[in-house]
Amino acid sequence: MKPVDKILVIDDDVELCTLVTEYLEPEGFQVEAIHDGRHGLERALNGEELLVVLDVMLPGMNGLDVLRQIRNTSKIPVLLLTARGEDVDRIVGLEIGADDYLPKPFNPRELVARIRAILRRTQGSEKTDDVPDVVRVGDVELDPATRTVVQNGKEVELTSVEFNLLQVLLREAGRVVTREHLVDTVLGRKFSPFDRSIDMHVSKVRKKLGDSDGGTDHIKTVRGVGYIFAHSREQAKEKIETTK
């Protein structure tokens, strides 16, 4: 028998949780709803769920604090629910480590699509025996089999989205990868010029690789096009100049 995919919904809106459950269960998910932050955090860390749907506005402990605590010890995918127009919550959520966000109110079908997209990219490497080889570019080594990244002998802690993003850039090292391709491949949705999610994820990866500390810039921005993982400063400069 196929194991049931368990989804945890942490939201104090009981009516919304009921609606989400009604949409997710026919899709093959088992849903558990918890209506406060502290109990939701405890449940999220028990290792039984595949994904957490987390509201920002929660009693007792807000969603952003819950997300911070989750990321201290767990890489479980988190889809953040934010109030429409609250750009700060979305930006902070992505900075902390949310895999994606969805503004309220939302179409339940879009929620299902976002969840499936997250699960596809986080479980993809586990569903195939043909695991790609280890990728090494400069001081960065990425192992798809163990989903680990090592830089100069030290492991770099990445969320599932950040890992997949870096994997795409590393495999295309020395070549420009468009934002459209990254959104499609990493986030699993159509590109929108007003959606800055992929840029926030790139920014997080840069920081974790030390690009903001004055060292070698691993990931370069090609303005108006996308990003490039550079083998060296000279190669990055040459590549960017040829795209102008």
Per-residue pLDDT at 88: 85
Per-residue pLDDT at 242: 40
Q: Which of 103, 15, 97, 32 is nearest to 64 (CA)?
A: 97
The upper half-sphere exposure of residue 115, i.e. CA atoms within 13 Å in the direction of its Cβ, equals 28
Maximum distance among all alpha carbons in the chain? 56
Q: Tell me the backbone φ, ψ of residue 85, rounded to 5 degrees.
A: 95, -10
Distance separating alpha carbons of residues 146 and 133, to the nearest angstrom: 11
Question: Is residue 20 within 8 Å of residue 45, measured between CB atoms?
Answer: no
Full DSSP string of 171-233: HTTTS-EEHHHHIIIII-S---TT--HHHHHHHHHHHHTTGGGTS---EEEETTTEEEE-SSH
Distance separating alpha carbons of residues 157 and 23, to the nearest angstrom: 33
Tell me the domains of the chain and their CATH numbers: 5-126 (3.40.50.2300), 135-243 (1.10.10.10)
Residue-level pLDDT, tens digit, the chain, 244 residues: 345 689 999 999 999 999 999 999 998 899 999 999 999 999 999 888 999 999 999 988 999 999 999 999 898 999 999 887 778 888 888 888 899 999 988 888 899 988 988 888 777 544 445 556 788 998 899 998 888 899 988 999 988 889 999 999 999 998 999 999 999 888 888 888 778 889 989 998 999 998 865 556 899 999 889 999 986 544 444 443 444 4
